[in-house]
């Protein structure tokens, strides 16, 4: 059992290869499902989440805190799926979020521009000029968005375990290459790596739960988890906020205990430990 995280360019057959691999292994495949679950779980609009994760950031996006909240929701769903193992996650920053998870195979799937444009031309019934424009525009927007959201160069091969050029490869061949790569000992989960991804998932759920609740959305708390025991620290301006944060964290499925080191600021902002 492992995890595959795919980053792809338009026209590279990335989704098709991911779905074929999922079919042959009887694994779960998730692409838009990540956004759909995040929107449903945290009560946000599907279109808004798609805008943040897919499109080039606007000037307004660069000066609002909304992107942090939306990204945290997406991260929570990605880690929740990853903690179940046997899953192939396409896009949505999965290869970046899961870089700390030892048994994740991070894959970049691409092809030369002319090959991708040819595929897009026939798939979307465009002229050759329009297809080239579509591919170039998509490349620019995705690169800009990934740089803005995650502060990485999405085209840097060092961010991936495997880079797949599909110029001379069909969907079945691509899936076969990935299946062979999953035989590598490095991407086989261990009890330790499974425990680690579960703890990382609980931290992601905790961050998302705090941001989703109006009473705790503005708090800046530090979170960590070890074997299901969640630790939280930071400062809040009232006892009500402390209790609200601890209650929200205690209700997260999988959390066995909450160790709180939250400090309540008394009048005059003198820290008092509770």
Instruction: Give the span between the Cα atoms of 19 and 30, in whole angstroms.
Output: 9
Cα-Cα-Cα-Cα dihedral sign, residues 17, 20, 22, 24:
negative
Residue 173, classified by CB atoms within 10 Å of its CB into exposed (0-12), middle (13-18) or buried (19+), is middle
- Cα 114 to Cα 37, 163, 172, 229, distances in angstroms: 35, 18, 21, 51
Domain that holds residue 248: 191-273
In this structure, what CATH number is given to the domain that contains residue 210?
Answer: 3.30.1340.30
Per-residue pLDDT in tens (0 to 9) along the chain, 274 residues:
689 999 999 999 999 999 999 999 999 999 888 888 888 888 777 777 777 776 665 655 555 677 778 889 999 999 999 999 899 999 888 999 999 899 999 999 999 999 999 999 999 999 999 999 999 999 998 888 888 888 888 889 999 999 999 999 999 999 999 999 999 988 899 999 999 999 999 999 999 999 989 889 888 899 999 999 999 999 988 888 899 999 999 999 999 999 999 998 875 444 444 3
**Looking at residue 270, what is its pLDDT?**
44
**Domain total for the chain?**
2
Q: Is there a single domain that holds both residue 149 and residue 261? A: no
Question: Same domain, yes or no, for 36 and 153?
Answer: yes
| H or E element that contains 105 | strand 104-110
Residue 221, in any domain of the structure: yes
Where among 126, 154, 181 does a domain terminate? 181
Residues 161/187, Cβ–Cβ less than 8 Å? yes
Asked if residue 106 and residue 213 are part of one domain, the reply reads: no
């Amino acid at each position: 059992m492992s995890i595959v995280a795919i980053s792809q360019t338009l026209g590279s057959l990335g989704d098709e290869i991911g779905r074929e691999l999922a079919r042959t292994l009887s694994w779960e495949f998730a692409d838009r499902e990540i956004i759909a679950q995040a929107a449903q779980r945290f009560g946000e609009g599907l279109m808004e989440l798609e805008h943040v994760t897919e499109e080039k950031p606007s000037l307004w996006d660069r000066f609002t805190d909304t992107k942090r909240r939306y990204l945290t929701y997406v991260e929570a769903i990605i880690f929740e799926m990853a903690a179940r193992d046997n899953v192939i996650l396409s896009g949505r920053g999965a290869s970046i979020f899961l870089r700390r998870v030892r048994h994740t195979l991070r894959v970049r799937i691409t092809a030369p521009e002319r090959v991708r444009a040819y595929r897009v031309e026939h798939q979307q019934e465009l002229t050759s000029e329009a297809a080239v424009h579509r591919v170039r525009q998509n490349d620019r927007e995705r690169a800009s968005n990934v740089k803005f959201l995650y502060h990485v160069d999405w085209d840097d091969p060092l961010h991936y375990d495997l880079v797949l050029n599909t110029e001379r490869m069909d969907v079945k061949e691509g899936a076969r290459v990935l299946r062979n790569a999953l035989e590598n000992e490095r991407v086989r989960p261990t009890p330790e790596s499974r425990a680690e991804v579960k703890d990382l998932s609980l931290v992601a759920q905790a961050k998302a739960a705090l941001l989703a609740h109006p009473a705790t959305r503005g708090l800046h708390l530090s979170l960590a988890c070890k074997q299901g025991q969640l630790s939280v620290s930071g400062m809040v301006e009232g006892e009500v906020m402390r209790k609200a944060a601890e209650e929200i964290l205690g209700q997260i499925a999988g959390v066995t205990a909450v160790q709180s080191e939250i400090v309540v600021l008394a009048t005059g902002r003198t820290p008092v430990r509770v």
